[in-house]
Structure 1
Amino acid sequence: MTIADNNFKDLCSSILSSDNNTLGEKVRPKYADGTESHTKYLNQVFEKYDLSKGELPILTLRQVAWKSGIKEILWIYQDQSNNLDLLKEKHNITWWDEWDIGDRTIGQRYGATVKKYNLMNNLLDGLINQPYGRRHIINLYQEADLSSSKGLYPCAMETQWSVRKGYLDMTLIQRSSDVPVANAINKIQYVALQMMVARHVGLEPGVFCHYVNNAHIYDRHISQVEELLKREPQGKDGDIKLVLNPEKTNFYDFTIDDFTMENYSPVKPNLKFELAI
């Protein structure tokens, strides 16, 4: 069993056995039929993976859409865009369409915030010119942006970066995480971001940490989670590898074709989860 599979099982079991839930409370998310989407949840969840030791945070209990997740990262941090047509035409991703604010964008969010404040270039320059500084942060939760337009508030909202003896460590901070659906995608896509940045600044990927302030399971996902908990993981740490093309070094030159996933054979069939919007 991988650390990722073990963490997932422990977290889901803890959430399902917890008394924390939103039943009877007014909630924002709704299902497509208009029904309020309630959750069971835990607060302040933390996971740690040492990439240099082969501890890759990818589930084998279900198929993780790792390529689509990385494409989303390219849209946010390379394209620095909030445009849904670009996301569809360039990266073949449509899962953000539910959050179209009416102009084929997701509002002044994510990539638009990265571009507005030059966050990506500031990070790269800072890591090169002052690697041991303690201010290497990308924060997408900018109040001026949130109040300037409609749109979903960023869930994966901040990354903090630190250099250590030839390694680049990173912590991903999320305000909210849908554990059986988005959580696994967020982990592997931000590991890919960490790998690209590390390559650009001449370091090796080190420790990846993930802090989630509210980790939850939606009420209509409980049966699927119970099925996942019965499954036997496939693979072990060190065997499954996410590999980045060694011929490239510039952050803005990487494409999805520069990533390969080795020895990844997740349990099938995959499960469907109704989206809470």
Structure 2
Amino acid sequence: MARHPEYQYLDLMEHLLEHGDRRIDRTGVGTLSGLGAMMRFDLSKGQIPIFTTKRVYWKLAVKEMLWFLTGDTNIRNLLQENVRIWTDWPLAKYRKATGEDIDQVAFEKRILEDEAFALQWGDLGPVYGKQWRQWRDAEGRVHDQLASVIKDLKTNPSSRRMIFHAWNVGELADMALHPCHMVYQFHVSNISAEGGKRPRLSLMVFQRSCDLFLGNPFNVCQQAALLAMVAQQVDMDVGELVWSGGDVHLYLNHLDAIREQLSREPKPFPTLRLLRRPASIDDYRIEDFEVTGYEPHAAIAAEVAV
């Protein structure tokens, strides 16, 4: 019997617990860090890699991906969807700039109720969505990288240039957080369609920095959702999600929680079905995603390092 694919994730965390380089990081919390990792997930039978050894709130992860696809960079629309994973950065900036010791709940309430306040304090700078959908070049031309990839998938599926990325050197300083999942590259197999096979779309993601315990389960889930959406838009079957990491790390304040997770056995991955085919990649909603058979172990709480 094949080993459960989630063990790729668990083995990587266990390796870092034993061999990770102990270091002080940007946040001051400290990490166990290593360079270079890869995981592969076969999505061809409808499974989606939502990890099971702790509950992953997959709807939040997919909502974040849908937010990226809009090109938006303000947390207000995220908060309207009850997604709070980006609040820490603008909140820290507001506290530093004003000296006001406002708590997160009050800050989010002001963002939601006061549009002018949200415009001033809720924007994250030119982060993922801006770069994916509205990359501005030196001549002022705007490039929709994702739309270009979808066009190439339809017209030139053997291309080795079906890439979008967010590492815009000239705008890094203006971003609340430098892009972590940086490069997305698509690959089509069965292009000749011999034997009546449909083309199969796979996706490889390079992530330069990854909080394995908190961030990676979200990242893998939402990247699988993106692959499903793009495959549907270009009339291809879903193939493989390949995740690759640069600096992969565990935060020192998460180690007990990680050991708890490592003591658990993975359960079967759930299945994903898209309930409708929207007119374009811009038109998906969270209600379009049906996940069945997700029966994970209990959630494990941990603080994000800012």
Compute the TM-score of the two structures, normalised by the length of structure 2: 0.81
Deviation at 1:115, TM superposition (A): 2.8
Conserved? CA contact 1:2–1:233, under 8 Å: no
Cross-structure match for 2:110: none
CA distance in 2, matches of 1:255, 1:216: 32
- Percent identical pairs in the alignment equals 28
Q: CA deviation at 1:54?
A: 5.0
Q: Give 1:262's aligned residue.
A: 292
For residues 7 and 163 of structure 1, the distance between their equivalents in structure 2, rounded to whole angstroms, comes to 24
Which amino acid is 1:86 matched to?
Answer: N
Query: Which residue of the partner structure matches residue 142 of structure 1?
Result: 168
Q: What CA distance in whole angstroms lies between the structure 2 residues aligned with 1:80 and 1:142? A: 15
Contact 2:183/2:206, CA 8 A, preserved across alignment: yes
Compute the displacement of 1:150 (Å): 4.2
Does 1:94 pair with 2:113? Answer: no
Alpha-carbon distance between aligned partners in 2 of 1:205 and 1:150, rounded to the nearest angstrom:
32
C-alpha distance in 2 between matches for 1:40 and 1:218: 6
1:212 paired to 2:237: no
Compared CA separation, residues 137 and 150, structure 1 to 2 (3 A): closer
Structure 1 alignment gaps of length 5 or more: 30-35
Write the distance in 2 (CA, Å) between the matches of 1:50 and 1:218. 29
Number of residues of Structure 1 aligned to a counterpart in Structure 2: 261
The equivalent residue for 1:51 is 43
Q: Which has the larger radius of gyration?
A: 2
**CA drift at 1:224:** 0.3
Note closer, same or farther for the CA distance 1:141–1:194 as it changes in structure 2 (3 Å cut).
Answer: same
The alpha-carbon distance between structure 1 residues 19 and 11, as it changes in their structure 2 partners (threshold 3 A), is closer
State the superposition RMSD in angstroms.
1.7
Q: Distance in 1 between matches of 2:277 and 2:303?
A: 40
Is the partner of 1:232 in helix, strand or coil?
Answer: coil
Unaligned runs of 5+ in 2: 95-120, 136-143, 191-198
Partner Cα separation in structure 1 for residue 49 and residue 237 of structure 2: 17
Aligned to 2:6, what secondary structure does the other structure show?
Answer: helix
CA separation in 2, counterparts of 1:246 and 1:108?
31
State how far apart, in whole Å, the 1-side matches of 2:169 and 2:221 are: 27
Q: What is aligned with 1:42?
A: 34
1:183 to 2:223 alignment: no
Q: 1:2 to 1:245 in 2, by over 3 A?
A: farther
Q: Per-residue deviation at 1:56?
A: 3.2
Q: 1:173 aligns to what SS in structure 2?
A: strand
Q: Whole-Å Cα distance in 1 between the matches of residues 163 and 289 of structure 2? A: 25
Counterpart contact for 1:4–1:56, Cα < 8 Å = no
What CA distance in whole angstroms lies between the structure 2 residues aligned with 1:129 and 1:162? 13
Shift of 1:122: 1.2
Aligned CA distance change for structure 1 residues 134 and 85 (closer, same or farther; 3 Å): same
**SS of structure 1 residue aligned to 2:167:** coil
- Give the match for residue 273 of structure 2: 243
Rounded to whole Å, the distance in 1 between the matches of 2:10 and 2:175 is 36
8 Å CA contact 2:186, 2:203 repeated in 1: yes
Q: Which residue of 2 aligns with 1:32?
A: none
Q: Please say if residues 17 and 32 of structure 2, whose CA atoms lie closer than 8 Å, have aligned partners that are also in contact.
A: yes
CA–CA separation in structure 2 for the residues paired with 1:140 and 1:16? 30
- 1:4/1:58 contact within 8 Å kept: no
Which residue of 2 is the match for residue 156 of structure 1? 181
SS in structure 2 opposite 1:197?
helix
Greater displacement, 98-107 / 180-189: 98-107
Match of 1:170 in 2: 203
Give the CA deviation at 1:52.
0.8
Aligned residue type for 1:122: S
Alpha-carbon distance in 1 for matches of 2:183, 2:237: 21
Look up the equivalent residue of 2:167 and give its one-letter code. Y
How far apart, CA to CA, are the structure 1 residues paired with 2:20 and 2:44?
37
